[in-house]
Chains A and B, each alone.
Chain A
Amino acid sequence: MSNVVTPAILHALLKGAILSVQLSVLTYGLALLFGLIAALMRRSGNVVVKGVARFYIELFRGTPALVQIFFAYFATPQIFAWLNRLVFEPLSGGRVLLPPHLSPFAAAVLALSLGYGAYLSEVIRAGIESIHKGQAEAAASLGLGGRDIMRFVVIPPAIRLMIPPFGNYALALLKDSSLASTISVVELTLSTERAISYNYQPAMMWAAAAVIYLALSMVGSFLFSYLEVVADPIRRRRGRPLTRLEPVSSGDGEGDA
């Protein structure tokens, strides 16, 4: 039982946790970008642009993340070889070629960010569309142009509505990042599995992994709660973002007198 919790095992878990965070943060950033692009495309007047966005969203919302990850890892080499032969080789004379395959990390980031981008685009679209048409009409009647209406009237309250679902998806993504273990990304789940293959302590090690995921998601949860406050001009102005109720006596709300 001397090898139950060695420094090497703790180190492996820590490294796994760091990789899980890196994978999740990088993926979430890209997902926001894909989501924003898809949401804007869906609001476009052009039928083709709208159709492409719709196809992307349906494709990635309608297929399991695990299938997407396997596809990104195991199917892209053939697709890349095909594209190289038919497109890149003839056009560049062999100088610019796609890589023979993606690294496990890159494949996981690609698959998960496209998948979560599809979800986030719907959050963005729903947020924008949930602002009553009357608000934009009122702004227009006061003489604001289209861009200013978006910037000053629609986007600020829309963002406030988007933050809670953004937070939900961020936490879901942190947990889905464990799917990358199936293509040998040594994130927290896989490093836990490997540790168990030494110390034969499944109950303890899986509990430890769960606690680490929980701690990470609580950090994420607090971060998004904070963003909710920041995005809310009334709560933000109190200067004490995380406190909702303040004593009535403290006059200007600057804090304790």
Chain B
Amino acid sequence: MTRARMKIVFGAVLAAVLLFGGITSAADLATIQKRGYMILVMSGGYPPFSLFNADQQLVGYDADVAKALAEKLGVKARLDAAEFSTIVQGVQSGIFDVAVASQAYTPQRAAAVAYLDHPYHCGGAQLFVPKSSNVTGISQMQQPVAVALGTTYEGWLTKNGYDFKTYKDDPTGIQAVQSGIVGGLVTDLAVGSYAITQGAPLKPVGDLLYIDLANVTVAKDNTDLKAALNKALVELNNDGTLKQISMKWFNQDIVSRCFDMPITTK
């Protein structure tokens, strides 16, 4: 490429970044109320938080919380699924109004989207290995472990120097464990336990790697919507709705013990 051409290309890239960088396309509260429905996104590949039932409907803990939030705001809930690693950019660009996608807190995400003041459930990172495996902890892993792309589990494995391979979601990671490409899977304890009840040939080993809180996020500058959702989430906690949804999916309360913790708790 000639120097002049390179200048043109760089100029075009720079122009594109400058033009579209500062523009927000997220719908504010008034717009959502006017259109009568709110678009709430989750991964759809994180059972039992979000999964597709036999009728291809999004269901799960995240789906139920999403519906309850929309109801509090007096609008219909439209649930959408997107690959977890694309959810932040989908919220940023306004394709989705709200993410109820079990997102833990990270400073990088907090720079891109806004978190509600309270988490809506908490769990912990857990290593799962094939039933036949003799491994008793993550330090004994001979093979890499599978982890969902863009999750805080991936960040934790990187930081602690473990060998891993990323997949787009946990069901895909479980496929990799089954086919022997990886030696195990790191995900939320509740998610792995649910997969086992559904027939995944896995078992949890070792203690929780760490505890994490899951949050609802909205577009960065969407302050009205954030305030309304904050209020709705507190109400849902106080009136017992969150606990009830938790009992429905997990037979235990995964909300109350952490609802008032700061969202940055590790």
Query: Which A residues fall within an 8 A CB radius of B?
Result: 1, 3, 6, 8, 12, 15, 70, 73-75, 77-82, 85, 100-101, 182-184, 186, 193-194, 196-200, 202-203
Tell me how far the C-beta of B93 lies from the nearest C-beta in chain A, rounded to whole angstroms. 4
Inter-subunit contact B171/A193 (CB<8 Å): yes
Inter-subunit contact B25/A193 (CB<8 Å): no
Residue of A74, A75, A186, A196 near B86 (CB, 8 A) is A74
Inter-subunit contact A12/B56 (CB<8 Å): yes
Answer yes or no: B175 CB below 8 A from chain A CBs.
yes
Inter-subunit contact A74/B174 (CB<8 Å): no
Bound complex: CA A12 to CA B169 (Å):
19
10 contacts between A and B (CB under 8 A): A73-B95, A74-B93, A78-B23, A79-B20, A81-B94, A194-B44, A197-B174, A200-B174, A200-B175, A202-B175
Tell me how far the C-beta of B109 lies from the nearest C-beta in chain A, rounded to whole angstroms. 16
The B interface is mostly helix, strand or loop, or mixed, namely: loop
Residue of A1, A6, A186 near B54 (CB, 8 A) is A6
The A interface is mostly helix, strand or loop, or mixed, namely: helix
Answer yes or no: B178 CB below 8 A from chain A CBs.
yes
Q: What residues of B have a CB within 8 angstroms of the CB of A8 in the complex?
A: 54-55
Known: A77-B94, A200-B174, A202-B175. A100 touches B23 (CB 8 A): no
Q: What residues of A have a CB within 8 angstroms of the CB of B90 in the complex?
A: 74
Known: A75-B20, A78-B93. A186 touches B171 (CB 8 A): no
Bound complex: CA A197 to CA B46 (Å):
9
Answer yes or no: B265 CB below 8 A from chain A CBs.
no
Kindly list 6 other residue pairs between chains A and B, CB separation below 8 angstroms, not including A3-B199, A81-B24, A184-B81: A73-B95, A78-B25, A183-B82, A194-B44, A194-B52, A202-B178
Bound complex: CA A197 to CA B170 (Å):
9
Bound complex: CA A78 to CA B90 (Å):
11
Inter-subunit contact A183/B86 (CB<8 Å): yes
Tell me how far the C-beta of B89 lies from the nearest C-beta in chain A, rounded to whole angstroms. 5
Inter-subunit contact A82/B23 (CB<8 Å): yes
Answer yes or no: B134 CB below 8 A from chain A CBs.
no
Bound complex: CA A233 to CA B31 (Å):
60
Residue of A77, A78, A82, A196 near B175 (CB, 8 A) is A196
Inter-subunit contact A75/B54 (CB<8 Å): no
Residue of B19, B25, B52, B175 near A100 (CB, 8 A) is B25
Within 8 A of A (CB), among B75-93: 80-83, 86, 89-90, 93
A80: nearest residue on chain B (CB-CB)? B25
Answer yes or no: B192 CB below 8 A from chain A CBs.
no
A197: nearest residue on chain B (CB-CB)? B171
Tell me how far the C-beta of A68 lies from the nearest C-beta in chain B, rounded to whole angstroms. 15
Bound complex: CA A1 to CA B201 (Å):
12
Q: What residues of B have a CB within 8 angstroms of the CB of A6 in the complex?
A: 54
Inter-subunit contact A101/B94 (CB<8 Å): yes
Query: Which residue, B27, B199, B200, has most C-beta atoms of chain A within 10 A?
Result: B199
Residue of A1, A79, A184, A200 near B80 (CB, 8 A) is A184
Inter-subunit contact A75/B93 (CB<8 Å): yes
Known: A78-B25, A193-B171. A202 touches B82 (CB 8 A): no
Inter-subunit contact A82/B19 (CB<8 Å): yes
